[in-house]
Amino acid sequence: MNRLLTAFPAAADALDGWIAADERAAADAFGSERRRREYLTWRAVVRRALGPDVRIGYDANGAPQLLDLSLHLSVSHCAGLVAVALSDAPCAVDAESAGRDFSRVCSRYLTPSEASLSSDPLWPAVAWCAKETLYKYARRRELDLCRDLRLLEADLAGGRIVGRIGDGAPLPMRIDRMEEVLVVSLFGNPAAPLSVERHLF
């Protein structure tokens, strides 16, 4: 089972019934309304998909996890979109604005050979999302974006990119463009059916 869920960040009042009182209190402490909406919306998306009583916590690396279900969870959010990956195998997702300018930092996360994989103007943003997705999938800290996380193939028109963590096996990733947001997802059981769902609140 692979599910890629997205939603527009919503105000807390629109999420009643899907968020816990302690989560609302935690969100109230954030200084940014955007951050509050993202934090609460991804939790509401998870519960709408899996049930209102699902408990959410964090693992030793600070990544979100489901406390009562043997499902894997990954979360990302940016201005305008929340993305959640759910699977019975390890998974990861990252979202980024398609309009973000990466020109000044490309050399920090792309090797020359990776930079040459595509001439598409969106490639720097897609590549950043892919590297972030690999980093989340690895669930290890202190990985070098150029040395430890590699991009091997890129087909932006086909919505496909392949990467590798260290000396591991090639990992196929999916590229989606939703409005002005790029979403890259990775599922550990890529042969399983994928459900892509947009949630509205």
What average pLDDT score do residues 14-33 get? 94
Report in angstroms the alpha-carbon separations of 11 from 16, 70, 95, 168: 10, 30, 20, 41
Residues with Cβ within 8 Å of residue 155, at least 6 apart in sequence: 161
CB 125 within 8 A of CB 182: yes
At the top level of CATH, which class does the domain 2-199 belong to? alpha beta
Please say whether the beta carbons of 71 and 60 come within 8 A.
no
Residue 141 has what pLDDT?
Answer: 87
**pLDDT number for residue 156:** 97
- 94-125: pLDDT as tens digits: 999 999 999 899 999 999 999 999 999 999 99
Nearest-angstrom CA–CA distance, 137 and 197: 21
| Distance in angstroms (rounded) separating the CA atoms of residues 131 and 102 | 13
What CA–CA distances, in Å, run from 109 to 101, 114, 126, 137? 14, 9, 12, 17
- Does residue 171 surpass a pLDDT of 90? yes
Global pTM reads 0.95
User: If we measure between CA atoms, which residue out of 75, 95, 119 comes closest to residue 179?
Assistant: 95
42-77 pLDDT per residue, tens:
999 999 999 999 999 999 888 999 999 999 999 999
Residue among 104, 156, 107, 105 nearest 130 (CA): 156
